[in-house]
Chain A
């Protein structure tokens, strides 16, 4: 490709080869897991012990250290899934399909955590577990999209056909992502507006922001660990009749 440096192109080209992907991620996983554990420990300690209480919500606000990174991840993983799906559709790369379907379960998990923690926080703060405002509803639709992706993949026996069908569903669902992000700006919602992504300056004190960003990075690593493990399993399952998988067993 014209815009991508040659070395990056070569890296992805090699990663698209199943045996190379399998051995490379096998060596990478312990490191990723270690980084995830360290970042989570640091982030949680910072968020639960070092960060001060909020001027209005007291200690209840600390749920943002789980809720906000989960919600970010739910959007991020969906985009990764859709892009992987598009790559799989266009170039018919088996590994892109595997990354797509392996992301779906992790993304659904993060979406569920975001909805659940938001609900737990909403009861004492707003006075209700759930409201049908634009932000909450669009996030719920995201959960259904993830579940739809997982169900559709499971419903078709031939996994290459299944991947193509799922990729189309994932790409169509991408329209929901900007809706979720901008819902609090386009419409009146009970959910508050953006805190961190505001361009001028985030409306969160820096002592609370640092643990939040640490947790966000930690969750990214968790996603990598969980997704790669799923991808490796899916890969050897699909390639079970090939020479290199037989070589692994011997």
Chain B
């Protein structure tokens, strides 16, 4: 390889390494802000901002969805299989909202530790299968606990 070409190649390598390093530091320092939501454990431990809007993510606990009659209020528990947080939401839920499904809710924490949501988004997991397969999986075992979040 001619020296001038090798020089250019090294220059490109240095450019890439420099950019990579700069971006890595930038992302590291913004790590918190890049998180789309807080886990329920973080919220229980008080890592989430107080008196401010933030998002919480977790699985809807089986059998915890409670709809008091005559209103659109929904109350359910969210979990990351460590700590649970109760969420209240008034409004229409997305199609994929169901028990055992991962969701992300935006809102704020009230004084009694209940998360009052203004918006609820369903978080789809990465599993795709036909209904028959899902059915037979359910027969064999309880749905796996990980993978949805």
* Cβ-defined contact, A125 with B124, below 8 A: yes
Instruction: Given the known inter-chain contacts A131-B36, A189-B36, please indicate yes or no for A195 contacting B121, CB distance below 8 A.
Output: no
Does B62 interact with chain A (Cβ within 8 Å)? no
Residue of B nearest to A195 (CB): B126
Instruction: Given the known inter-chain contacts A179-B23, A190-B121, please indicate yes or no for A168 contacting B128, CB distance below 8 A.
Output: no
Does A174 interact with chain B (Cβ within 8 Å)? yes
Contact among B12, B19, B119, B123 for A86, CB-based, below 8 A:
B12
Residue of B nearest to A207 (CB): B130
Residue of B nearest to A192 (CB): B126
Contact among A91, A204, A205 for B5, CB-based, below 8 A:
A91
Report how far A131 CA is from B37 CA in the complex, Å.
Answer: 12
* Cβ-defined contact, A131 with B121, below 8 A: yes
* Cβ-defined contact, A126 with B133, below 8 A: no
* Cβ-defined contact, B128 with A64, below 8 A: yes
Within 8 A of A (CB), among B81-138: 93-96, 104, 119-135
Does B53 interact with chain A (Cβ within 8 Å)? no
* Cβ-defined contact, B121 with A127, below 8 A: yes
Does A227 interact with chain B (Cβ within 8 Å)? no
* Cβ-defined contact, B147 with A203, below 8 A: yes
* Cβ-defined contact, A208 with B128, below 8 A: yes
Instruction: Given the known inter-chain contacts A53-B130, A168-B15, please indicate yes or no for A192 contacting B122, CB distance below 8 A.
Output: no
Please give, as numbers and ranges, the residues of chain A lying within 8 Å of B15 by CB-CB distance: 168, 171-172
Please give, as numbers and ranges, the residues of chain B lying within 8 Å of A64 by CB-CB distance: 128
Within 8 A of B (CB), among A104-132: 124-128, 131-132
Report how far A53 CA is from B133 CA in the complex, Å.
Answer: 11
Report how far A54 CA is from B128 CA in the complex, Å.
Answer: 6
Report how far A175 CA is from B26 CA in the complex, Å.
Answer: 12
Contact among A55, A174, A189 for B16, CB-based, below 8 A:
A174
Nearest-Cβ distance from residue A147 to partner chain B, whole angstroms: 19
Does A187 interact with chain B (Cβ within 8 Å)? yes
Contact with A along B19-32 (1 / 0, CB 8 A): 11001000100010
* Cβ-defined contact, B128 with A205, below 8 A: yes
* Cβ-defined contact, A205 with B129, below 8 A: yes
* Cβ-defined contact, A175 with B20, below 8 A: yes
Contact among A56, A89, A128, A207 for B12, CB-based, below 8 A:
A89
Q: How many A residues have CB within 8 A of the partner chain? A: 41
Nearest-Cβ distance from residue B89 to partner chain A, whole angstroms: 11
Per DSSP, chain A at the interface is: loop
* Cβ-defined contact, A54 with B130, below 8 A: yes
* Cβ-defined contact, B35 with A171, below 8 A: no
Contact among A56, A172, A188 for B36, CB-based, below 8 A:
A188
Please give, as numbers and ranges, the residues of chain B lying within 8 Å of A190 by CB-CB distance: 36-37, 104, 121, 123
Report how far A90 CA is from B15 CA in the complex, Å.
Answer: 13
Contact among A53, A127, A187 for B35, CB-based, below 8 A:
A187
Contact among A54, A125, A188 for B37, CB-based, below 8 A:
A188
Report how far A89 CA is from B135 CA in the complex, Å.
Answer: 56
Contact with B along A159-182 (1 / 0, CB 8 A): 000000000100110110001000
Please give, as numbers and ranges, the residues of chain A lying within 8 Å of B37 by CB-CB distance: 188, 190
Does B79 interact with chain A (Cβ within 8 Å)? no
Report how far A204 CA is from B132 CA in the complex, Å.
Answer: 14
A-B contact pairs, 28 of them (CB 8 A): A54-B131, A55-B129, A55-B135, A61-B128, A86-B9, A86-B12, A89-B12, A90-B9, A124-B94, A125-B96, A125-B124, A126-B94, A126-B122, A126-B123, A127-B93, A132-B36, A133-B36, A134-B36, A187-B36, A188-B35, A188-B57, A190-B36, A192-B124, A203-B127, A203-B128, A204-B127, A205-B129, A205-B130
